[in-house]
Structure 1
Amino acid sequence: MTKEFSHTLDWEIISKYLSGEMTESELEVFEAEMAVNPSYAEAIKASGKDLTLADLYLANEAFDSEYAWANVKKRIVSKKDITTHFSISRPSPLKAFFRLAASIIILFGIGLLVQTTYTHLYPNKTFVCEINEANKSITLDDGSVITLNSNSKLIYPRKFKTNERRVKLIGEAFFNIAKNPNKAFIINAKDAEVKVLGTSFNINAATNRVEVLVKTGKVQFSSINKPDNKLILISGDFASLKESILEKTIIRDDNYLSWKTRQMVFRDTKLNEVAKVLNRTYQVQIRFQEAELKDLALNSDFDHEPLDNILNYMCAPFNLVYEKNGNQILIKKAN
């Protein structure tokens, strides 16, 4: 299920971060969100253990609650005195209109204050594709479309800055970036940074390295730890970053993007390798009951075929059958 990260004012979570008590999953999302907005990170860290400082600053600047409450009490007492000594007169239609207008303006102002404060303290959203889920897409305000693979997250700002469009990726995603020559689109993924003006490409940061495959256009692929260590990649180029070492190679996997395209090509491919592609594409776990079945070879092309159709095509020539239990699939010899 696709979710947005909760930005509820939960000081318990922030307290856990400052005290080092966060779980690994909580810490990963929290730090990723701070990475997208350094000023937010500085505010949280600077607040130390006095967690109210960051929250109350804007509110105190824009709204004096004690003064407002004193005025309310004063008005209540004043109204009681009027009620005690005088009869209540019916307001004229004109006065009623102005009171209604004033109430609307006050409510609008309070709503604007709450929205401004909330956006300042929680400027980012998180788009999630859960584990074992099919890929999910999101269209950002600038028109860019990002498709997440299973078990991946995208942290992005509620509003892009004037000079750049910066997001954070955890896991794997395919990016189709809307062109804007005046505002580069920048993706942070682990210790890598990918910078583009408008193109389409895949980033895989789900393993111990970061991989980039360019589908169209041109991207700049660099190390955050060593900014001068960078590569310019064009359509068809594939590169990886591991321990600040960039390497440009030729991709030899015809099915690298099958998780998104649902298109697969197998040429004398062993069933063990076929299973790896299907696992990645359909978020399943395929096993073989007999070890020798892994070495059988398959020749076929598939385009948006349902998984059951592919499994039947795999099994039929070799007199095999398969059993499904949730996302677990066992392939074995027919009795």
Structure 2
Amino acid sequence: MNTEEQEKNSQIDALIERIKVQSPTPDDHHSAENSFSRLMGRLTTNDHSAEIFLRRIRQYRIGLVAATAALLLAIGSLLYTTVSETEPSFIVASNNTGNVQHIPLPDGTVIKLNNRSKLIYPDNFSGSQREVFLDGEAYFDVAHDKRHPFIVRAGALKIEVLGTKFTVNANSMFPQITATLLEGSIDVSNEKDHLLMKPNQQLTYNAENGEMLLTDLSDAEREIRWTENVWVLSDTPLLDICQRLERQFNVKFIIMNDALIHKSFTGEFETNESLESILETMKISTPFKYERNGKNIIMR
């Protein structure tokens, strides 16, 4: 087994360890556990990591969630309400290419899936709504259909639209979810709260305390520059930057200088730039030293 496969296996193991589902109904046949198992048995995959995920998920007894609970409960609920003789097949689009992946959906919706992101969607929409599941970051240009709302399940959030353009960043490994609206309107809700977003607004949701914060943006277009393979920093805290760099380059940051922890950075990078190039550019505005020891990046 090569290094890349070992890393994928480790990531999948970490994700599966976080997956435990509690059924929303007392019916064993339609429990979230059984529904999720049936879903995984029907998924059509398009990459090796998804195949590994499907193979390994069968080895685990599924029980309750932390960060991904709402996503899996939603999948179980979806299957509960759509169980019929003609159940749809599901597709897992898992992007590990390093570039943005374009995904056209059968209803005319176009999705741009960022690197290190996963999207689950049916091969053909049926029923009263169009529903997809996101783990990671994606831009949605939703085809308008007032009779069939488009729903994005992202962690604990349900994002419902008729036809609009927006972006969602919801990585199951981190507690924060953001949604940015460019056109139209979107309805965002969880078990406790509900709000309606307008264009040029950004929602920040904290999964740890359930708080939703709505912010007006002067330039929402900056938030989707990643669809052009450009990473934009706008007064971005160093800790957030390190988290992204850790995922992108499979490294671990160790910050030895406490003064750096509260620093923020502004700038733009091409997504194919090297780690060293990014760090050297960041040093221009805030001088610091760093050294690499294996997969550890030590900042002083």
Please, what TM-score do these two structures have when normalized by structure 2?
0.58
1:129 to 95, 108, 112: 95
1:235 pairs with 190, 194, 199, which one?
A: 199
Match of 1:287 in 2: 253
Q: Show the counterpart of 1:3.
A: 47
Superposed, which structure 2 residues align to 1:62-211 within 5 Å? Answer: 120-121=86-87, 123-129=89-95, 135-161=100-126, 163-206=128-171, 207-208=174-175, 210-211=177-178
Once residues 253 and 281 of structure 1 are traced to their aligned partners in structure 2, the CA distance between those partners, rounded to angstroms, is 27
Check if 1:313 corresponds to 2:276: no
Question: Are 2:80 and 1:38 equivalent residues in the alignment?
Answer: yes
Q: 1:160: Cα distance to partner? A: 0.7
Structure 1 residue 201: deviation in Å? 1.5
In angstroms, what is the RMSD of aligned CA positions?
A: 4.6
Tell me: CA distance 1:239–1:329, structure 2 relative to 1, closer, same or farther (3 Å): same
Q: For the residues of structure 2 that align with 1:211 and 1:298, how far apart are their CA atoms?
A: 18
Deviation at 1:312, TM superposition (A): 2.5
Partner of 1:248: 214
Q: Which residue of 2 aligns with 1:21?
A: 61
Q: Give the partner amino acid of 1:230.
A: H
| Cα distance change on mapping 1:266 and 1:174 into 2, 3 Å | closer
* Separation in 1, partners of 2:98, 2:63: 23
Change (3 A) 1:236 1:291: same
Match for residue 323 of structure 1?
Answer: 292
C-alpha change, 1:280 and 1:144, in structure 2 (3 Å) is farther
Aligned partner of 1:195: which letter? E
CA spacing shift, 1:39–1:211, aligned 2, 3 Å: same
Return the alpha-carbon distance in structure 2 between the equivalents of residues 204 and 22 of structure 1.
Answer: 25
More displaced 10-residue stretch of structure 1: 27-36 or 179-188: 27-36
The one-letter code matched in structure 1 to 2:118 is K
Aligned-pair identity (%)? 20
SS at match of 1:37: helix
TM-score by length of 1: 0.53
8 Å CA contact retained: 1:126, 1:153:
yes
| Aligned equivalent of 1:217 | 184
1:302 to 263, 268, 291: 268
Distance (whole Å) between structure 2 residues aligned to residue 151 and residue 23 of structure 1: 25
3-state DSSP of counterpart to 1:323: strand
Deviations 1:223-249 (A, max 9, x none): 3x35xx532211121224556665434
Q: Take 1:160 and 1:204, find their aligned partners in 2: how far apart are those partners?
A: 23
Alignment check: 8 A CA contact 1:138 1:147 kept? yes
- In structure 2, the residue matched to 1:54 is none
| 1:323–1:329 Cα contact (<8 Å) kept | yes
Query: Gapped runs of 5+ residues in structure 2?
Result: 1-7, 9-45
Residues 298 and 313 of structure 1: is their aligned pair in 2 closer, same or farther, counting only changes over 3 Å? farther
- Relative distance call for 1:244 and 1:274 in structure 2 (3 A) is closer
Determine if contact 2:91/2:120 at 8 Å carries over to the other structure: yes
Name structure 1 gaps, 5 residues minimum.
44-57, 59-119
